[in-house]
């Protein structure tokens, strides 16, 4: 996988000082990463992001004052937001699904091996979403999708072309741009263009939200 030429700038957000320190030490010692700031709660995130301009924010969910989903939603409203990777101990909590809908581009459990956390940050910084398949599958299986939500999702997807619809299905299955390109016999650049058009048409923030919309529609 291609890496950016400079270190990926990371901000670590966690209300547990020991966890925050451990993550920062681990990530700052990893090749191609630089921890440029920390925050102990969601309400500190805007100031830290303004001060350090990170590429990726590693975000806890449960924090005393402002939770990770709320902090993520606020970041996604910015003109050039950093990517957000949720790192949580909760694999079946509604907050996780809420964070994805808020715009997080990936999430992992806190028992994820350090090399996988490092790789996830690199991949998200490069534009590829990282979703823990086991956790996401469990959340989606338990999520209650009301009839009106399903209908709204189907109506939105009906606006897409057949090729865009195929891309949505592939994204919902967790396929990368390269994998989708091979499946559809097109270039990676073409896949990226389709994804960009889909996000614009559906007023979505990232690929994770495409996958969730497909799930709401009963397609994944």
Domain ranges of the chain: 8-140, 145-216
Predicted confidence at residue 1, as pLDDT, reads 41
Predicted confidence at residue 15, as pLDDT, reads 96
Mean pLDDT of the chain: 87
Greater confidence, 25 or 173?
25
pLDDT at 21 over 60: yes
The average pLDDT across 69-96 equals: 85
Q: What band does 138 get if pLDDT is binned at 50, 70 and 90?
A: low
The average pLDDT across 128-144 equals: 66
The answer to whether the CB of 84 falls within 8 A of the CB of 104 is: yes
Predicted confidence at residue 4, as pLDDT, reads 45
Q: What is the CATH number of domain 8-140?
A: 3.40.50.2300
Check whether domain 145-216 has CATH 1.10.1040.10, yes or no: no
The average pLDDT across 101-128 equals: 90
* Torsional sign, CA 121, 207, 54, 16: negative
CB atoms within 10 A of CB 52: 16
């Amino acid at each position: 996988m291609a890496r950016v030429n400079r270190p990926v700038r990371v901000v670590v957000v966690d209300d547990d000082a020991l966890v925050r320190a451990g993550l920062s030490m681990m990530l700052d010692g990893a090749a191609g990463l630089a921890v440029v700031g920390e925050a102990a709660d969601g309400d500190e995130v805007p100031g830290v992001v303004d001060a350090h301009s990170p590429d990726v924010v590693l975000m806890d969910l449960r924090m005393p004052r402002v939770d990770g989903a709320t902090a993520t939603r606020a970041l996604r409203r910015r003109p050039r937001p950093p990517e957000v990777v949720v790192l949580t101990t909760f694999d079946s909590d509604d907050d996780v699904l809420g964070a994805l809908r808020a715009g997080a581009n990936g999430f992992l459990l806190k028992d994820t091996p350090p090399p996988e956390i490092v790789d996830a940050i690199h991949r998200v910084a490069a534009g590829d979403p990282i979703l823990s398949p086991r956790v996401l599958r469990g959340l989606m299986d338990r999520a209650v999708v009301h009839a009106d939500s399903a209908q709204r999702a189907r109506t939105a997807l009906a606006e897409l072309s057949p090729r865009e619809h195929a891309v949505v299905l592939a994204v919902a299955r967790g396929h990368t741009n390269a994998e989708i390109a091979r499946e559809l016999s097109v270039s990676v650049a073409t896949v990226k263009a389709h994804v960009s058009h889909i996000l614009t048409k559906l007023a979505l923030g990232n690929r994770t939200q495409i996958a969730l919309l497909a799930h709401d529609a009963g397609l994944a």
